[in-house]
Amino acid sequence: MPRLYARAPDHLGDGVMALPAMTALARLGALGIRGPGWAKRLYRSLGEFVDEPGAAEVAVLFKPAFRAAWEARGVPRRIGLDTDHRRLLLSTALSPGDGHRTQDYASLAAAAGAVVSGEPELATLPEEREAAPKLADDVVLIIPGSASGEVVAWPHHRALADVLGPRACFAGGPLEEGWLPGFAGPHRVLPTLPLGVFAAVAARVAAVVSNDSGLAHLAAAARRAAGRDPADVHVIFGSTDPARTGPPGSTAHVGPRPYCAPCYRKRCHHDLSCLEVPIDHLLTALA
């Protein structure tokens, strides 16, 4: 049985941000990993996927919820952030820092004795690159969806695509299948792709434009691993903060900052003015 147990985050963007820390943990010894379905591809070479901690001696809880700590309560050493009223369930409770979330994750792995280095990278497999839809070299991949909803949803993706013309291509995850083709209108829309195949597409295109989303993080990590510049991933920020949760190395486009920004809420309590990044800003960056 694995000696180390890691509870992955529940959201794809956080899972990508945890990649350097998870990789460092895997170097310590046999690692059991529990997480959502996408975790099996994201961490495919790092450990054994498990449903419970089993006989692990150390649990590193990247998921910040009470339930993750409760499920690991039988592990002798339990390392996690002091969040969601779970301090008493942790043997090592770390306070969230003021920096980027990757630093919080690195601190958790370091508390287990791991040495964390580098930014998130996701190398694609030959079969994933072969399965990736073939797009022209100048294509801009546009990702208008996000699980976080209206508070991160830039309202001008379609207008940007209309200006870009044949260079524009839309992409999304399974939750976008119902509305994305209608939203994209005459522009090309990729089908929902497996995680690794999407990463292969994002690594090839000229640029990516996205809300702050898991797919934006995946695109930046895939480009870095492929030797492409993650700065060509252009991320529009509304309720969130690029210095805290932006894809490392990406280019941030930040609108007006009202008194409440960044709020990290799921619903806006103000007027969404934080999302008013002009199209011209993106066109200039993409030129």
Between 192 and 151, the more confident residue is 192
Dist. CA 89–CA 236, nearest whole Å = 37
Question: Which tens digit of pLDDT belongs to each residue from 87-108?
Answer: 999 999 999 999 999 999 999 9
Between 110 and 238, the more confident residue is 110
Q: Answer whether residue 200 is part of any domain.
A: yes
Q: Answer whether residue 16 is part of any domain.
A: yes
Q: Answer whether residue 190 is part of any domain.
A: yes
| Backbone Cα Rg of the chain | 19
Q: Answer whether residue 117 is part of any domain.
A: no
Average the pLDDT over each of 11-15, 133-137, 166-170, 264-268 and give the range with the smallest value. 264-268
Dist. CA 214–CA 15, nearest whole Å = 8
What CATH number is given to the structural domain containing 183? Answer: 3.40.50.2000
- Answer yes or no: do 265 and 190 share one domain: yes
For residue 234 the two structure tokens come to 């252009």
**Statement: the pTM of the whole predicted model exceeds 0.75:** yes
Q: With CA atoms as reference, report the closest residue to 278 among 198, 160, 196.
A: 160
Task: Tell me which residue range forms the domain holding 142.
Answer: 126-286
Give the mean model confidence (pLDDT) for residues 117-126: 98
Average the pLDDT over each of 15-29, 188-202, 218-232, 250-264 and give the range with the smallest value. 250-264
Number of domains present in the structure of the chain: 2
Q: Which pLDDT score is estimated for 160? A: 97
- Answer yes or no: do 45 and 22 share one domain: yes
Show the beta-strand stretches assigned E in 68-125.
Answer: 77-81, 92-94
Taking each helix axis from N to C terminus, what angle separates 214-225 and 195-204, rounded to the nearest 10 degrees?
60
Domain end call among 111, 140, 172: 111
- Answer yes or no: do 258 and 133 share one domain: yes
Give the mean model confidence (pLDDT) for residues 245-249: 97
Domain end call among 53, 77, 111: 111
- Answer yes or no: do 107 and 131 share one domain: no
Q: Answer whether residue 119 is part of any domain.
A: no
- Answer yes or no: do 91 and 161 share one domain: no
- Answer yes or no: do 234 and 183 share one domain: yes
Between 270 and 90, the more confident residue is 90
Which residues, listed in sequence order, are joined to residue 233 by a DSSP beta bridge?
Answer: 208
Q: With CA atoms as reference, report the closest residue to 144 among 164, 182, 170, 181.
A: 170
For residue 73 the two structure tokens come to 């309560």
Confidence of residue 17 (pLDDT cuts 50, 70, 90): very high
CA angle 96, 111, 222 (to 5 degrees): 75
Confidence of residue 55 (pLDDT cuts 50, 70, 90): very high
